[in-house]
Structure 1
Amino acid sequence: MPNSRPLLRRSPVLVAVLAAFALLAGACGQGQDTVDDDPRPLVLATFTVIADMAREVGGDRVRVESITRPGAEIHDYDPVPGDLVRGAGADLVLDNGLGLERWFERFVDRSEARSATVSDGVEVLPIVAGEYRDRPNPHAWMSPVAGVRYVENIRDALIELDPGGRDVYTANAERYAEQIRQVGEDLRAELGALPETQRALVTCEGAFSYLARDLGLQEAYLWPVNSDAEGTPEQIANTIAFVRDNAVPAVFCESTVNDSAQRQVAAETGARFAGPLYVDSLSEEGGPVPSYLELLRHDARVIADGLTGGVR
């Protein structure tokens, strides 16, 4: 069962800001139909991947919003006043936990909203280098196995919020979990046939530890967690040495960060820069990864094509 805890403890200044924005929103909405007219519970997710999962499980019984927009870098996101207004009005807040949303608790500590940490119960891997060494690697959703656990936690949180929807949430979660399991099987088939010499995944951020574990891939990266110290000379030199020593055919970078350091690695080693991978954010509707399932499928195709030169 995911944690349910009060959130968003507000300082007097923050209370004043919230009140001012609430009054402004009310004034702007007079005489118009607004989202506040929707009687369904408001579920607020910290980023787009969790929001997509919550929509799949919640169906039409809840309205789901993401604090961060598609394409946003979530580690050091800076909430705006509108985020605080939405947080104050939410019925349930879903966060990843594992230290991912470092910005979240700095700004929001207490509200009337329930909250649930959707990574609860996941078998956690540690970060193995850098400032956050030995802390949990937060990118557990990149493993379909862990993704199923996320779905179960979201289901339980929605049932606690809205007991009358138990049957709906349970059925939706079962259907969705089976889809995630199937994607996991497809991933293993897509990447499982890679030769031993090509089973190394080199990325900008160390966001693929869980997927690499599931698929038996050796993992290397420029920096362990997105931060201000990205692409330092030492990080670049170490990654160049790894790529050369292991004859890695291709390197990758995540869509939400600057890829210039990884392109330097590719240029100096002769490895291909094989295109962006998606981790921390979905794309806009109509983009390459509008859903969590498509994010996993897209990354599997890009990794497999990169490591085999597109010949499989």
Structure 2
Amino acid sequence: MSLSLNRRRFLAATLTAGVLPAGAGAAAERKRFGITLHPYYSYVANIVGDRAEVVPIIPAGFNPHAYEPRPEDIQRIGSLDAIVLNGIGHDDFAGRMIAASSKPGLPVVEANADVPLLPAAGSMTQSAARGAGKVVNPHSFLSITGSVLQVATIARELGRLDPANADAYTANARTYSRRLRQLRADALGRLASAGDTRLRVATIHGAYDYLLREFGLEVSAVVEPAHGIEPSPAQLAETIATMRRLDVQVIFSELNFPSAYVETIRRETGIRLYSFSHISHGDYAADRFEREMTRNMDTLVQAMLEAKP
């Protein structure tokens, strides 16, 4: 009996049984998981590898802080099997988009379900918290600890939605989390021989509390009364006075932050200014989070060493 005849009989038998050879139809069966923010693209891409497609619902180049849903973006949601959300204030637009899409019942993965959240910083957000319940800081992705917890949650929930690939998602998540922890360990290792590296810091807005706490730092003052809202002249003068009174040594701003008042603070106080990436602009890439968080931690280590007496 020829080899070709054996192959034909095998294919006929498997087709009759409803079974395809390994790899057949794999591309058609891949799940499509949506994301809203750049860090979540990196998380999900590293979790699923080539077993699912990661679909940004905001095109590259749009700022999520100023984003308004477009019809073509809402239409894209209809092609998804699930969507991964920050879910604590950084992508509130997603709920409206899902409700307006052809899949209002789309499964949602709340990435921050297991993350201990910090309160939002700034005078206006603190007033809102007192008046209407707790307001949390949504920038949990700007830390290694917060990211590792979110990666574990995302892998678990995507595995429930895609059982055939659950084990692979779990294994990939563990490998990715080990890399993230090593980035933090490398940064902390550079501080190990520096002795006491405590310093008093201020931030332009409250995005960096999670990262700073990982390195044992607390924020003494926040310039913006709420994220994205510039201080009034009176508020700015009060914040500058607070920085002087508390002997703040370092101010952390956002990379490419376009505001004249940042230069005013530096000119009036003489305090060193350093910039972090918000990881919210540019192209989506699987390694984007690692690259930009490495840069952020390099900046933080530099600031701590340069401020050391």
Match of 1:127 among 114, 120, 133: 120
TM-score, normalization by structure 1: 0.76
**How far off is 1:293 after superposition?**
1.7
**CA distance, structure 2, for counterparts of residue 71 and residue 307 of structure 1:** 32
**CA distance, structure 1, for counterparts of residue 113 and residue 161 of structure 2:** 17
The code of the aligned residue for 2:107 comes to R
- Higher Rg: 2
Secondary structure of the corresponding residue to residue 63 of structure 2 = coil
**CA distance, structure 2, for counterparts of residue 290 and residue 235 of structure 1:** 39
**CA distance, structure 2, for counterparts of residue 56 and residue 177 of structure 1:** 10
Q: Give the match for residue 72 of structure 2.
A: 82
Q: Give the match for residue 24 of structure 2.
A: none
Cα 1:201–1:58 change in 2 (3 A) is: farther
Task: Structure 1 unaligned segments of length 5 or more: list them.
Answer: 1-36
**How far off is 1:114 after superposition?**
1.3
Equivalent residue runs for 1:180-219 within 5 Å: 180-190=180-190, 199-219=199-219
Q: Give the match for residue 279 of structure 1.
A: 278
Q: Give the match for residue 138 of structure 1.
A: 138
Equivalent residue runs for 1:232-243 within 5 Å: 232-243=232-243
Match of 2:300 among 286, 299, 303: 303
Cα 1:204–1:302 change in 2 (3 A) is: same
Listed one character per residue, the Cα deviations across residues 43-97 of structure 1 (whole Å, up to 9, x for unaligned) are 1101111011100001001111223345643234212222101112111111001
**CA distance, structure 1, for counterparts of residue 267 and residue 44 of structure 2:** 41
Contact 1:203 1:253 in 2 (8 A): yes
Contact 2:122 2:206 in 1 (8 A): no
Equivalent residue runs for 1:1-312 within 5 Å: 39-70=29-60, 72-109=62-99, 111-133=104-126, 134-190=134-190, 199-219=199-219, 220-223=221-224, 225-227=226-228, 229-255=229-255, 257-274=257-274, 276-281=275-280, 283-284=282-283, 291-309=288-306
Contact 1:282 1:291 in 2 (8 A): no
Secondary structure of the corresponding residue to residue 49 of structure 2 = helix
**How far off is 1:200 after superposition?**
2.8
Contact 2:46 2:172 in 1 (8 A): yes
**CA distance, structure 2, for counterparts of residue 267 and residue 71 of structure 1:** 32
The code of the aligned residue for 2:37 comes to F
**How far off is 1:132 after superposition?**
2.9
**How far off is 1:177 after superposition?**
1.1
Q: Give the match for residue 23 of structure 1.
A: none
**CA distance, structure 1, for counterparts of residue 207 and residue 106 of structure 2:** 30
Secondary structure of the corresponding residue to residue 202 of structure 2 = strand
**CA distance, structure 1, for counterparts of residue 161 and residue 124 of structure 2:** 37
Contact 1:204 1:222 in 2 (8 A): yes
The code of the aligned residue for 1:222 comes to V
Cα 1:212–1:232 change in 2 (3 A) is: same
Task: Structure 2 unaligned segments of length 5 or more: list them.
Answer: 1-26, 127-133
Secondary structure of the corresponding residue to residue 296 of structure 1 = helix
RMSD across aligned C-alpha pairs, in angstroms? 2.9
**Greater CA drift, 151-160 or 239-248:** 239-248
**CA distance, structure 1, for counterparts of residue 279 and residue 225 of structure 2:** 14
Secondary structure of the corresponding residue to residue 141 of structure 1 = coil
TM-score, normalization by structure 2: 0.77
Listed one character per residue, the Cα deviations across residues 194-228 of structure 1 (whole Å, up to 9, x for unaligned) are 7767523322210111122222112132126423x
**CA distance, structure 1, for counterparts of residue 211 and residue 170 of structure 2:** 26
**How far off is 1:38 after superposition?**
5.7
Contact 1:250 1:271 in 2 (8 A): yes
